[in-house]
Amino acid sequence: MTPGSHVSGWCLLLLLAAMIPGLQLKTNDNLVSNSEAQIYQPVLCPSESTPSTGTYMLKGLDGKPCIKVTMGAEFIITEKTTWYFSVDPSRISTSGQCDKDAAVLSLNLTDNAGKLQLTFRKEKQVHYITKLTAHLSPLPVCQRCANKTYSGLLDNGRLFTTANGQIFTCKSGTLLLMSPELRLKLVPLKIQAFTPPRGLSGEDVECLADFNNRVVPIVLGATAVGLMLMLGLTLLLIKDRRRNGYNSL
């Protein structure tokens, strides 16, 4: 059995424990029990996986699309060990409000087991996320582990700043430190905020990480080719000088 299949199987057993009343699961050092099948609790895994991508839309009071976010989201919890939870888009419900220059988009997990809330602001030339909050209330990883909610907040100004009418895109993973215990990974990420005259469409603007991933290999390749050409020319010049030296004798 491969390590990946072992991890996925282990997470599946934990999921069954969360869904089936009275089910007890034994591992080498953990015993997990849960009798409340009615309440959904996210299941943490010891290894990360690529989160599924979901598209979340918020409309304004006029009924027109205002915010559109396409992304995969993964909660990363670090205490004595590191645990991962990839958000299932089918378990997300959206809510919020959108005005002319401000909007709040909430992504809510089933039974309030988790939440992401994005606060948008629009200025004359740009729009951005001014605040991001998150919380997750996962299934305890062992029988004696207490229920705990992990929360975090980013309230430092201008996340994902983009010109009005353009779409922020980032195929590379965006890792955000929400609190000492909670990080949030968004991959991929595509954001358009506030409806431009032509609707929710526009020019894609890539993030710095995508730009570096695209441009740096080209620059390194061009540099390597340039160095090889310089080395070749140097060898030819040395060879030519030696030949001229032999002729003068």
In eight-state DSSP terms, residue 80 is S
Whether the pLDDT of residue 62 is over 50: the answer is yes
Question: What is the model's pLDDT at position 21?
Answer: 47
In eight-state DSSP terms, residue 125 is S
Whether the pLDDT of residue 15 is over 70: the answer is no
Question: What is the model's pLDDT at position 26?
Answer: 41
Q: Record the pTM.
A: 0.75
Which has the higher per-residue pLDDT, 101 or 239?
101
Mean pLDDT of 95-121: 96
Q: Which of 48-52, 196-200, 208-212, 225-229 reaches the highest mean pLDDT?
A: 48-52
- Whether 134 contacts 143, CB under 8 Å: no
Contacts 24+ apart (CB under 8 A), 145-152: 150/75, 150/77, 150/179, 150/181, 150/182, 151/178, 151/179, 151/182, 152/177, 152/178, 152/179, 152/181, 152/182, 152/184
Which has the higher per-residue pLDDT, 46 or 244?
46
pLDDT tens digits, residue range 25-52? 444 333 344 444 478 999 999 999 999 9
E-strand stretches of 60-148: 65-78, 82-86, 92-98, 102-109, 114-122, 126-136
Whether the pLDDT of residue 177 is over 80: the answer is yes
Question: What is the model's pLDDT at position 121?
Answer: 96
Mean pLDDT of 74-90: 96
CATH of domain 40-205: 2.40.160.110
Question: What is the model's pLDDT at position 220?
Answer: 63
- Whether 150 contacts 181, CB under 8 Å: yes
Question: What is the model's pLDDT at position 112?
Answer: 94
